[in-house]
């Protein structure tokens, strides 16, 4: 087990290196750069546009080849310095991430909890009551959760559902859990539920399919023949064996949470990494983009490692060497 974990941790290095190279090249291929965004506001005070561009590019190092700029960034990143934002108050990337990572992680965690709480019981009930009215209704809801776009559902909830039910409007500003926990949850619960519902669709369908397969196995029939209660058969025997593929999907969905949070953070004005990524791409703020992508890649790697290790907890027969 220890050797397996060490090997997986060592793989983080080439993975992060490949991600940063790919992201840096893709940003390089985008039309325009940060200087173009400055030129939109340039009034031509004392120097021509060409002189202004040359001066700014020299200051920011944008006049150098890509490999030199990437090499400098990588060297600084290895020392814990992800650079400085090119916009606003020119805060360091580390400072921006420190304030925004908790927001995105909180939203993702709450959404994952909502999705899991909804998907697992619903999937089990749908499998146990196969081809019943409840099964058809629950399967239809799962397909609906997969089909309905998250941004559309968010707009409907804000503009129609809340006013119709007379619910209080969501807070305009974001408060951290340490500052004001009730206000924080009031701001977060709607995007977390909407994002969690979107995650619940595929998890519910897979849970149902795996449960149906397990319930047909010989050892389940044997457990029933021995006189075990149906709840014990489902929970202790069937559900545990059906959870391994579901854990894989949960891990994949957790990795996609940051991508899904971009939409929710934009709609609900949450100061997380997703909202900052959109702003950085608009302004071609390369240090911010690179820093956020490093965090996302690291998060995905760690989540996949945790899911792999969780397999051995669900099924003791699984061993890593």
Q: What pLDDT is stored for residue 1 in this prediction?
A: 66
Cβ 295 vs Cβ 273: under 8 Å: yes
Residue 223 predicted with pLDDT over 70: yes
Residue 99 predicted with pLDDT over 70: yes
pLDDT (mean) for 101-109: 88
Q: What pLDDT is stored for residue 47 in this prediction?
A: 64
* Spans of all domains in the chain: 32-81, 93-314
Residue 195 predicted with pLDDT over 80: yes
pLDDT tier, 277 (very low <50, low <70, confident <90, very high otherwise): confident
Residue 5 predicted with pLDDT over 70: yes
pTM, to two decimals: 0.81
pLDDT (mean) for 281-290: 84
User: For residue 183, which of 197, 192, 173 has the smallest C-alpha distance?
Assistant: 173
- Collapsed DSSP state (helix, strand, coil) of residue 229: coil
Residue 166 predicted with pLDDT over 70: yes
Q: What pLDDT is stored for residue 260 in this prediction?
A: 66
Name the H helices within the chain. 2-10, 12-29, 34-39, 49-60, 66-78, 93-128, 133-147, 150-156, 162-165, 181-215, 218-225, 230-232, 240-268, 273-283, 286-314
User: For residue 37, which of 108, 88, 77, 84 has the smallest C-alpha distance?
Assistant: 88
Residue with more model confidence, 2 or 317: 2
Which DSSP string corresponds to 123-136?
Answer: HHHHHHTTTSHHHH
pLDDT tier, 215 (very low <50, low <70, confident <90, very high otherwise): confident
Non-local CB neighbours of 235 within 8 Å, separated by 6+ positions: none
pLDDT tier, 315 (very low <50, low <70, confident <90, very high otherwise): low
81: alpha, beta or left? (left if phi > 0; alpha if psi -120 to 50): beta
In the block, tokens 């001066």 appear at: 55
pLDDT in tens, 232-272: 778 777 777 777 777 777 777 776 677 667 788 888 888 88
Q: What pLDDT is stored for residue 42 in this prediction?
A: 60
Q: What pLDDT is stored for residue 88 in this prediction?
A: 64
pLDDT in tens, 16-44: 888 889 988 888 887 777 777 776 666 56
Q: What pLDDT is stored for residue 8 in this prediction?
A: 78
CATH of 93-314, one of 3.10.450.50, 1.10.3720.10, 3.40.50.20, 3.40.50.150: 1.10.3720.10
Residue 316 predicted with pLDDT over 70: no
Q: What pLDDT is stored for residue 3 in this prediction?
A: 77
Residue 160 predicted with pLDDT over 80: yes
pLDDT in tens, 43-79: 566 667 677 777 777 777 777 888 888 888 889 888 8
Q: What pLDDT is stored for residue 317 in this prediction?
A: 66
Q: At what angle do helices 286-314 and 2-10 cross, to 10 degrees?
A: 160
Q: What is the mean pLDDT of the chain?
A: 81
Q: What pLDDT is stored for residue 57 in this prediction?
A: 75
Burial class (CB in 10 A: 0-12, 13-18, 19+), 51: exposed
């Amino acid at each position: 087990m220890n050797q397996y974990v060490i090997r997986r941790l060592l793989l983080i290095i080439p993975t992060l290196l490949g991600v940063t190279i790919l992201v840096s090249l893709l940003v390089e291929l985008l039309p325009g750069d940060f200087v173009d965004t400055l030129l939109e506001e340039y009034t031509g005070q004392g120097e021509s546009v060409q002189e202004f561009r040359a001066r700014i590019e020299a200051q920011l190092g944008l006049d150098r080849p890509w490999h030199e700029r990437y090499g400098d960034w990588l060297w600084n990143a290895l020392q814990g310095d992800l650079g400085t934002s090119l916009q606003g108050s020119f805060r360091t990337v580390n400072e921006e991430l420190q304030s925004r990572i908790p927001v995105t992680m909180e939203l993702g965690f709450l959404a994952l909890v909502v999705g899991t709480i909804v998907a697992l019981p619903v999937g089990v009930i749908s499998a146990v009551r196969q081809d019943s009215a409840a099964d058809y209704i629950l399967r239809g809801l799962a397909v609906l959760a997969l089909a309905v776009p998250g941004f559309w559902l968010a707009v409907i909830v804000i503009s129609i559902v809340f006013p119709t039910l007379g619910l209080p409007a969501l807070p305009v500003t974001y408060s951290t859990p340490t500052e004001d926990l009730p206000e924080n949850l009031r701001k977060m619960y709607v995007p977390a539920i909407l994002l969690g519902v979107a995650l619940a669709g595929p998890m519910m369908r897979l849970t149902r399919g795996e449960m149906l397969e397990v319930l047909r196995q010989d050892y389940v029939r044997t457990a029933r023949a021995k006189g075990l209660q149906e709840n014990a058969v489902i929970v202790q025997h069937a559900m545990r064996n059906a959870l391994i593929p579901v854990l894989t999907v949960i891990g994949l969905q957790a990795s996609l949470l940051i991508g899904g949070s971009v939409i929710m953070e934009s709609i609900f004005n949450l100061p997380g990494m997703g909202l900052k990524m959109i702003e950085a791409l608009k302004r071609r703020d390369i240090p911010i983009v690179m820093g956020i992508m490093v965090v996302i890649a690291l998060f995905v790697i760690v989540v996949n490692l945790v899911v792999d290790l969780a397999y051995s907890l669900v099924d003791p027969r699984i061993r890593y060497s």
